[in-house]
Copies of this chain bind each other. A is one copy, B any other.
């Protein structure tokens, strides 16, 4: 068990939370005997400062030779938007690894968090969906034009790009019995690429996942409905890069706990527990090649102070264990440990919470509490 990791802590709070999450991995190694080879390197602002580029060819090369990339965060106001900016490093890794399916779950890591949502509990309680964002195409990639008086980003999709991400949605939906419902989100009433997206998505589901219910949903109207009826979308939401970018950040706002949200970007459909993934994107650890990063960015305002919440990075580690290493049980142990720490007060224990959750704990303290629970589980 185990495999090869490329670790890119990145900028600002990235290294702080990555360090803590890796301590959880140490414990997993200790307890299970699994071994994770760890190669640390630079990406984002850290790479710009040292190599004058947001990611080097060497790092890009390594990113496809490992079983998974564990990522912190890239960016900060000091680097600006002039190209190459820190974010371009992340985009180039996504492209190189062809991690075309970005998964972002929206649910509560612990019931005790429901009251922290900006949304009324009777509306948000029970929310549980995953957004699958197409992560290697659309307007964010392709040949851009940037002139003094004109800018253009072609928003385009080819059939294979749509098919493969639809298959990830189908694979995730059919890991449940009955299968989860799927919403395919587009703007087919206006965009040509959305009409192609919609048609091909339905073709894939009819042919390969006939038992899954797929519904079309316009992106603008979903932005509204996620606030007014969030639980109506419990299941899988699959959408293009741009809509996914915005809607998944919006979903982060729904739960109100940005410091808790993990994400996985996969190079192929994930395997169900007890099965092996298909050939697409399979790594040598028997899982899927993927990159794992928290949804929160580099948080320059609190960086260097030991205040960042490590939970999103730790939950990203859990997703890595599940999807890239087929360690479903260990993934659940980590998630359970986080839940227990977040519930500790409700259970009459000591409250260990970082500032973003209204507590006074630091990064280390929060992390140690999680490590303790992982050992106990």
Chain A positions near chain B (C-beta within 8 angstroms): 75, 81, 85, 87, 91, 118-120, 123, 139-140, 144-159, 187-198, 200, 219-221, 223-228, 242-243, 245-250, 252-254, 256, 258, 297
A81-B198 in contact given A192-B144, A223-B250, A228-B256 (Cβ < 8 Å): yes
Complex: A192 Cα to B253 Cα, angstroms: 27
On whether the beta carbons of B223 and A246 are closer than 8 Å, the reply is yes
A227-B243 in contact given A154-B152, A159-B149 (Cβ < 8 Å): no
Q: Which residues of B contact A189 (CB under 8 A)?
A: 75, 81, 85, 87
On whether the beta carbons of A192 and B152 are closer than 8 Å, the reply is yes
Minimum CB–CB distance from A338 to chain B (whole Å) comes to 21
On whether the beta carbons of A227 and B227 are closer than 8 Å, the reply is yes
Complex: A81 Cα to B140 Cα, angstroms: 25
Complex: A10 Cα to B221 Cα, angstroms: 19
Minimum CB–CB distance from A116 to chain B (whole Å) comes to 10
On whether the beta carbons of B149 and A156 are closer than 8 Å, the reply is no
* Interface residue from B149, B156, B190, B246 paired with A87 (Cβ < 8 Å): B190
* Interface residue from B195, B227, B228 paired with A151 (Cβ < 8 Å): B195
On whether the beta carbons of A188 and B224 are closer than 8 Å, the reply is no
Q: Which residues of B contact A154 (CB under 8 A)?
A: 152-155
Q: Which residues of B contact A196 (CB under 8 A)?
A: 146-147, 149-151
Q: Which residues of B contact A197 (CB under 8 A)?
A: 151
Complex: A253 Cα to B220 Cα, angstroms: 11
- Name A258's closest neighbour in chain B (CB-CB): B224
Q: Which residues of B contact A81 (CB under 8 A)?
A: 188-189, 195, 198
A156-B152 in contact given A123-B118, A252-B224 (Cβ < 8 Å): yes
Minimum CB–CB distance from A184 to chain B (whole Å) comes to 13
Complex: A227 Cα to B228 Cα, angstroms: 11
Max count, chain B CB within 10 A of own CB: residue among A81, A150, A159? A81
On whether the beta carbons of B120 and A190 are closer than 8 Å, the reply is no
Besides A140-B191, A152-B193, 11 new A-B residue pairs in contact (Cβ under 8 A), listed by A number: A75-B189, A85-B189, A87-B190, A118-B227, A120-B120, A149-B159, A150-B159, A151-B194, A154-B155, A224-B252, A224-B258
Q: Which residues of B contact A156 (CB under 8 A)?
A: 145, 150-153
* Interface residue from B152, B187, B246 paired with A220 (Cβ < 8 Å): B246
Minimum CB–CB distance from A156 to chain B (whole Å) comes to 4
* Interface residue from B188, B191, B249, B256 paired with A223 (Cβ < 8 Å): B249
On whether the beta carbons of B228 and A193 are closer than 8 Å, the reply is no
Q: Could you list some 24 contacts between A and B, CB below 8 A? A: A75-B189, A81-B188, A85-B189, A87-B189, A119-B119, A119-B120, A146-B196, A149-B158, A150-B157, A151-B192, A151-B193, A152-B155, A152-B157, A154-B154, A154-B155, A221-B249, A223-B223, A223-B247, A224-B249, A224-B250, A225-B253, A227-B227, A228-B253, A246-B247
